[in-house]
Amino acid sequence: MPRVSALDLPDVPKGHLPPHLELQRTRVLCASDAPTHTETIQYSGAYASVGVDNSLRLDQFCRDFRVEVIRLTEDDMEFDMVGIDPSLANAFRRILIAEVPTMAIEKVLIANNTSVVQDEVLAHRLGLIPIKVDPRLFEYMSENDTPNEKNTIVFKLHVKCKIKGPRLTVKSDELKWLSNGSELPLEMESHTSDPASKQKTYTAFTCSQEIELEAHAVKGMGKTHAKWSPVSTAWYRMLPEVVLLQEVEDEMAEELVKKCPVNVFDIEDVGKGKKRATVARSRACTLCRECIRGEDWEKRVALRRVKDHFIFTIESTGALPPEVLFTEAVKILEDKCERVITELS
């Protein structure tokens, strides 16, 4: 009997993967008692034995990649990014958090603070206030630069409680923009040179609480300090996929519907008094695994995640609209890719 190569046997497919290998390549399987891990098989020779080229090609990426906006409001955005590797999805998330620039208060000049809040705590709280200004209109300021209208925004805060009056709750709308820049002198004049100044005594009793300060906002990025991060959060999850492996009917269908806390399943009438469970909202699945807990339920329901389909959510701090954050992050990622290509060439 002549020798025959294993690749020439009729039960070995060529040019395409068997269903179980294709499932392994494109999906993450979720078991009832095991954590899920994202593993992508990207090296070109992974399936060479069955004649499948698994290399990552630019033409394939351009054909498969797409972005679909699902929800867009003033403060948040949800979109699907399809056809990318988890490493690129995570790079996009990190760029949103740490590399899209914004304006934030960096320097606080306190002229007077007799409030119950310490100077350091007050300055820290001011730094975390989102500044609703387009950072693209401003330049970065280095240590050697002089603050000017191109790199600095100046705000003034001056509030004072009346004698025997109630305490004030100071909010961000008390910050007043100084269009002409700082009003504080570089060196404080001596109190003796001002005839209207109060004469110094052995005590310094005050009957009211007062805050008087200037806050200088400059351009920066979240990787320097979190106050420059333009998002409250930016996160993603892989698209869930819920599959019924066999028909789930009648009482078991009702039990399956009750198992799911986010109403992924529905019941449809198939006639003759019979009911059948269907997957109606697989996108809403949180992979809590309640539907596959219990005897034999893993044989009826399969939970998977699509490896190259990511559901992104961007929540803006309010400084910039979420769609602007998206486009700026894309530009930064594009610049990074171009630098890598230039270095490699």
For 218-235, how does the pLDDT look when each residue is reduced to its tens digit (9 = 90+)?
999 999 999 999 999 999
- CA torsion, ordered 143, 148, 150, 153, to nearest 10 deg: 90
| Cα–Cα–Cα angle for 220, 173, 97, rounded to 5 degrees | 30
- pLDDT of 36 higher than 60: no
For 75-84, how does the pLDDT look when each residue is reduced to its tens digit (9 = 90+)?
999 999 999 8
Residue 27: the pLDDT is 81
For 15-30, how does the pLDDT look when each residue is reduced to its tens digit (9 = 90+)?
677 787 778 778 887 7
Select, from the ranges 30-34, 53-57, 69-73, the one with the highest average predicted confidence (pLDDT): 69-73
Closest CA to 96 of 328, 288, 343: 328
Assign domain 28-39+61-100+230-344 to its CATH architecture: 2-Layer Sandwich (3.30)
Residue 203: the pLDDT is 47
Task: Give the H or E element holding residue 287.
Answer: none
For 99-150, how does the pLDDT look when each residue is reduced to its tens digit (9 = 90+)?
999 999 999 999 999 988 999 999 999 999 999 999 999 999 988 889 999 9
Residue 143: the pLDDT is 87
Nearest-angstrom CA–CA distance, 340 and 334? 10
Pick the range with the lowest mean pLDDT from 106-110, 187-191, 285-289, 319-323: 187-191
**What integer is the mean pLDDT of 267-273?**
86
Domain boundaries, the chain: 28-39+61-100+230-344, 102-185+204-227
53 token code pair: 């080229």
Tell me the residue type at 145.
D
pTM confidence score: 0.79
Q: Where does 102-185+204-227 sit in CATH, by number?
A: 2.170.120.12
Report whether 229 contacts 317 (CB < 8 A): yes
**What integer is the mean pLDDT of 297-303?**
91
